[in-house]
Amino acid sequence: MNKVIEVENLTRAYGDFKAVDNISFDVKKGEIFGFLGANGAGKTTAMKMLTGILEPTSGKGKVAGFDIKTQRNQLKYKIGYMSQKFSLYEDLTLKENVKFYGGIYGLDNKTIVERTNLMIERLGLENIEDTLISEIPLGWKQKIAFSVATIHQPEIVFLDEPTSGVDPITRRQFWDLIYQATEEGITVFVTTHYMDEAEYCDRISMMVQGRIEAMGTLEELLTKHNAKDMNEVFLKLAR
Amino acid sequence: MFRKIRHIIEKEFKQIFRNKTMVGLIFGMPVLQLFILSYAADFEVKNINIFIQDNDKSPTSTELIQKISSSDYFDIKDVDTYKNGLSLVEKNKADVILSIPQDFGKKINTGNKTTIAITLDAINGSKAGVTQNYLQNIILQFSKEKLNEKIKIDVIPGIDLINRNWYNPTLDYKVFMVPGILVLLITMISLFLSSMNIVREKEVGTIEQLNVTPIKKGEFIIGKLLPFVVLGIAEFTIGLLIATLWFHTPIEGSLLLLYIFTIVYLTLILGMGMFISTFTDTQQQAMFIAWFFSVIFILMSGLFTPIESMPDWAQIVSDFNPIKYYVDVMRLVMLKGSSFANVSYQFIIIVIYSIVLNALAVLNYRKTSG
């Protein structure tokens, strides 16, 4: 299997403090890679370096075959990103948001219309396609944000805490969307601090204070740390 | 590339016109300000309150008082013999005291020299200066007449000055002020809107999403700038219509030249706003910085006070003031009918200034944090 993310000794320091401390890992094509850790463990910092919006202090990384330091612009066509902070324009409608983001990825109008219709049909959003985002409930917004982040059909989509603050049912639905994306061959890199969401991932890495303390499939981690769920693994590692 | 820019422009326009309050402010406020400021910013001093301390009470002194009261500029508050009127000045009820001495009439009629005292409230220096001028003119005129009566000849040798005011023959301050106030309004609206624009995306968090897209810095800035150029031109057109139709301000020069200059000037102001936007984190910060610069630029632009009367250091500072050049050009082209050749110096400076500020904005806008 080919690797779509390769990271070697990646570090990001702010003065003496190392937000990300010498991490190395690979992600295979089509995988759901869970990036777990407590708040402030360095997940977002790592993700920002991988998406080319933060300069690494040292180390190397390649995403979709492009260097995260020197080939940022090519890299950006290949990735989608959904930030922790809600990133749709509240004063634009659903359709207008999709059109804008599709447009700045260079899609032509015909493609934008096709993909918008497909997305509206898939998510069952016919009633709210011309509604302002500000009037749409949070759970819906997050699904829309995910679809907007993948409108240009990227190779990899980075999701930063996509499910924080939504109810369990919406979370479940959101993960269905993620599965759908992987079926289309999109690799998913997702950070979360909900340990139970680890079950949904093919592989998990556990970050504690800037370092990757454990990595593997769910079973591997449970056996290795002799735990019954990820919460226990987390508590053992974080101690 | 152009497709991407087009998408940004489309999005910006939608956002601007969706916010009904903002649209009202963008178009309503300047129109209102143009009316209020043009009528209020009148440098002519009228309704000067004068207190006359008449110690003479002779027919001659009464004649002088009548002369003063018949001018449009003075309101006679009180005429009294003993009160010295200082208390009226202290209470802000009089602006000037004219003291006529006891033997005023007698000395004039016998051909002797006499003195009159003018005491001015000089808190507002320029008003005091104008008041003194008016009063001196009246008194000189009066003494000339008296002298003529005395020597009984009609022709006195000397030079009479005749003034003619070119380009603004009736010395109407509104004609002079309207082009300048138009500049002020376009500057403020454009600077405020553009300075708060990128910051707003930072505040809401959408900038992060934009930064992971392959959009280039230049495309982003151009896409953000163009809608405001269009808005600025619309604003300018409305202002110009009001100026000509309501205030009857002449447009002696080329309308095309006015528009070309305005477009270049708008790119300068918007570039400055974008630059402010790149180094601030909140709309509040951007607003304060934009306010700081617009106040300094406006007060030092020669709009309300002539630059020639500023101290040397301030004149040097005003050379870096973009508004100064725009005010100059607007007045020159509108009132004097200057051609491009006459304003090419200002044009070149504005172009250079605009290139520098826009370059700074593009360079300072970081898609990566480092």
Residues of B within 8 A of A53 (CB-CB) are: 208, 211-212, 367-369
| Mutate: best of B213, B215, B369, partner A, most A CBs <10 A | B213
Rounded mean pLDDT, A40-61 = 90
pLDDT at B285: 94
The whole-angstrom distance between residue B95's C-alpha and the CA centroid of its chain comes to 25
pLDDT band of residue B364 (cuts 50, 70, 90) is confident
The structural domain count of chain A equals: 1
* Residue B167 pLDDT greater than 70, yes or no: no
* Residue B198 pLDDT greater than 60, yes or no: yes
Kindly determine whether residue B370 and residue A55, on different chains, have CB atoms separated by under 8 Å.
yes
**Which amino acid is residue B329, in one-letter code?**
V
Q: Which of A76, A85, A86 sits opposite B212 (nearest CB)?
A: A76
Rounded mean pLDDT, A188-216 = 88
Q: What is the DSSP string of B186-217?
A: HHHHHHHHHHTHHHHHHHHTHHHHHHTS---H
Question: Is B260 inside a domain boundary?
Answer: yes
Model ipTM?
0.86
Share of chain B above pLDDT 90, in %: 28
List B51's β-bridge partners, or say none: B78, B97
Chain A from 207 to 236: CB within 8 A of any B CB: none
Kindly determine whether residue A83 and residue B367, on different chains, have CB atoms separated by under 8 Å.
no
Instruction: Return the minimum-mean-pLDDT range out of A98-102, B175-179, B275-279.
Output: B175-179
Residue B231 shares a structural domain with residue B329: yes
pLDDT at B174: 76
Judge whether A63 and A156 are in contact, CB under 8 Å.
yes
**Total-model pTM:** 0.79
Q: Which of A87, A91, A106 sits opposite B209 (nearest CB)?
A: A87
The structural domain count of chain B equals: 2
The mean of the pLDDT values for chain B is 85
Kindly determine whether residue A103 and residue B7, on different chains, have CB atoms separated by under 8 Å.
yes
Residue B35 shares a structural domain with residue B175: yes
List A8's β-bridge partners, or say none: A60
Judge whether A5 and A46 are in contact, CB under 8 Å.
no
Rounded mean pLDDT, A45-63 = 91
Residue B265 shares a structural domain with residue B287: yes
Judge whether A115 and A69 are in contact, CB under 8 Å.
no
**Locate tokens 């993620």: which residue?**
A178
Nearest one of B192, B188, B187, B209 to B284, comparing CA atoms:
B192
Question: B189 vs A173, B232, B273, B302, CA distance in Å?
Answer: 46, 8, 10, 19
pLDDT at B25: 87
Kindly determine whether residue B208 and residue A106, on different chains, have CB atoms separated by under 8 Å.
no
Provide the shortest C-alpha distance from residue A86 to chain B (in Å). Answer: 7
* Residue B356 pLDDT greater than 90, yes or no: yes
Residues of A within 8 A of B6 (CB-CB) are: 103
pLDDT at A99: 93
Residues of B within 8 A of A51 (CB-CB) are: 212
* Residue A231 pLDDT greater than 60, yes or no: yes
Provide the shortest C-alpha distance from residue A96 to chain B (in Å). Answer: 8
Residues of A within 8 A of B210 (CB-CB) are: 104
Q: For A31, what's the count of Cα atoms within 13 Å in the CB-facing half-sphere?
A: 20
Element of type H or E holding B294 = helix B283-299
State the Cα–Cα distance between residues B324 and A142, nearest whole angstrom: 50
* Residue B358 pLDDT greater than 70, yes or no: yes
Kindly determine whether residue A89 and residue B19, on different chains, have CB atoms separated by under 8 Å.
no
Residue B220 shares a structural domain with residue B103: no
Helices (H), B91-124: 104-109
Q: Does B217 touch chain A (CB under 8 A)?
A: no
- CATH number for the domain spanning B144: value is 3.40.1710.10
State the Cα–Cα distance between residues B329 and B340, nearest whole angstrom: 10
Question: Higher pLDDT residue, B161 or B317?
Answer: B317
* Residue B276 pLDDT greater than 70, yes or no: yes
Question: Is B161 inside a domain boundary?
Answer: no
User: What residue in B sits closest to A13 (Cα-Cα)?
Assistant: B370
- Tokens describing residue B61: 């002194």
Provide the shortest C-alpha distance from residue A215 to chain B (in Å). Answer: 27
Question: Is B158 inside a domain boundary?
Answer: no
Q: Does B113 touch chain A (CB under 8 A)?
A: no
Kindly determine whether residue A81 and residue B212, on different chains, have CB atoms separated by under 8 Å.
yes
pLDDT at B350: 93
Q: Does A81 touch chain B (CB under 8 A)?
A: yes
- Tokens describing residue B15: 């956002």
State the Cα–Cα distance between residues B77 and B58, nearest whole angstrom: 19
Nearest one of B272, B266, B271, B273 to B200, comparing CA atoms:
B273
* Residue B153 pLDDT greater than 60, yes or no: no
State the Cα–Cα distance between residues B208 and A53, nearest whole angstrom: 8
Residue B114 shares a structural domain with residue B193: no
E strand segments, chain A: 3-14, 17-28, 32-37, 58-63, 66-67, 79-82, 156-160, 187-192, 203-208, 211-216
Judge whether B182 and B272 are in contact, CB under 8 Å.
no
pLDDT band of residue B151 (cuts 50, 70, 90) is low
pLDDT at A208: 87
Residue B194 shares a structural domain with residue B174: yes
Nearest 5°: phi and psi at B36? -60, -50
* Residue A238 pLDDT greater than 90, yes or no: no
Residue B279 shares a structural domain with residue B324: yes
Rounded mean pLDDT, B347-361 = 93
Kindly determine whether residue A104 and residue B7, on different chains, have CB atoms separated by under 8 Å.
yes
Q: Does A101 touch chain B (CB under 8 A)?
A: yes
CB atoms within 10 A of CB B253: 21
* Residue A194 pLDDT greater than 90, yes or no: no
Question: Is B197 inside a domain boundary?
Answer: yes
Domain span including residue A109: 3-238
- CATH number for the domain spanning A9: value is 3.40.50.300
State the Cα–Cα distance between residues B280 and A216, nearest whole angstrom: 43
Residue B177's Cβ-count burial label (10 Å; 0-12, 13-18, 19+) is buried
Question: Is B99 inside a domain boundary?
Answer: yes
Q: Does A58 touch chain B (CB under 8 A)?
A: no
Instruction: Return the minimum-mean-pLDDT range out of A3-12, B163-172, B284-293, B349-358.
Output: B163-172
Kindly determine whether residue B7 and residue A86, on different chains, have CB atoms separated by under 8 Å.
no
Residue B124 shares a structural domain with residue B187: no
Share of chain B above pLDDT 70, in %: 91
- Tokens describing residue A187: 């690799």
Nearest one of A141, A165, A44 to B212, comparing CA atoms:
A44
Instruction: Return the minimum-mean-pLDDT range out of A133-137, A201-205, B133-137.
Output: B133-137
Question: Is B67 inside a domain boundary?
Answer: yes
Q: What is the pLDDT of residues B180-190, one digit of tens each?
A: 888 988 999 99
pLDDT band of residue B240 (cuts 50, 70, 90) is very high
Residue B66 shares a structural domain with residue B9: no
Rounded mean pLDDT, B232-241 = 93
Q: How many CB pairs below 8 A link A and B?
A: 79
State the Cα–Cα distance between residues B119 and B366, nearest whole angstrom: 62
State the Cα–Cα distance between residues B225 and B5, nearest whole angstrom: 10
Kindly determine whether residue A103 and residue B14, on different chains, have CB atoms separated by under 8 Å.
no
State the Cα–Cα distance between residues A159 and A191, nearest whole angstrom: 6
pLDDT band of residue B268 (cuts 50, 70, 90) is very high
**Locate tokens 């570090």: which residue?**
A11
Q: Which of A51, A53, A104 sits opposite B215 (nearest CB)?
A: A104
Q: What is the pLDDT of residues B311-345, one digit of tens each?
A: 889 888 888 899 999 998 998 898 888 888 888 99
| Residues in chain A, overall count | 239
Domain span including residue B307: 2-41+169-364
Provide the shortest C-alpha distance from residue B223 to chain A (in Å). Answer: 11
Number of H helices, E strands in chain A: 8, 10
Residue B352 shares a structural domain with residue B249: yes
The contacts of residue B159 (CB under 8 Å, 6+ apart) are none
Nearest 5°: phi and psi at B102? -55, -45
Residue B35 shares a structural domain with residue B77: no
Q: What is the DSSP string of B226-257?
A: HHHHHHHHHHHHHHHHHHHHTS-----S-HHH
| Mutate: best of A45, A104, A160, partner B, most B CBs <10 A | A104
A203-208 and A211-216 strand pairing? antiparallel
Chain B from 15 to 54: CB within 8 A of any A CB: 15, 18-19
Q: Does A116 touch chain B (CB under 8 A)?
A: no
pLDDT at A141: 87
* Residue A52 pLDDT greater than 70, yes or no: yes
Name the DSSP letter for residue B369: B
Judge whether B364 and B278 are in contact, CB under 8 Å.
yes
Q: Which of A54, A73, A85 sits opposite B214 (nearest CB)?
A: A73
E strand segments, chain B: 48-54, 74-80, 96-100, 117-120
Kindly determine whether residue A86 and residue B205, on different chains, have CB atoms separated by under 8 Å.
yes
Provide the shortest C-alpha distance from residue A200 to chain B (in Å). Answer: 25
Question: B366 vs A222, B132, B207, B208, B211, CA distance in Å?
Answer: 43, 59, 10, 11, 9
User: What residue in B sits closest to A45 (Cα-Cα)?
Assistant: B369
Q: For B284, what's the count of Cα atoms within 13 Å in the CB-facing half-sphere?
A: 0
Residue B315 shares a structural domain with residue B334: yes
List A25's β-bridge partners, or say none: A7
Question: Higher pLDDT residue, A97 or B158?
Answer: A97
State the Cα–Cα distance between residues B118 and B138, nearest whole angstrom: 13
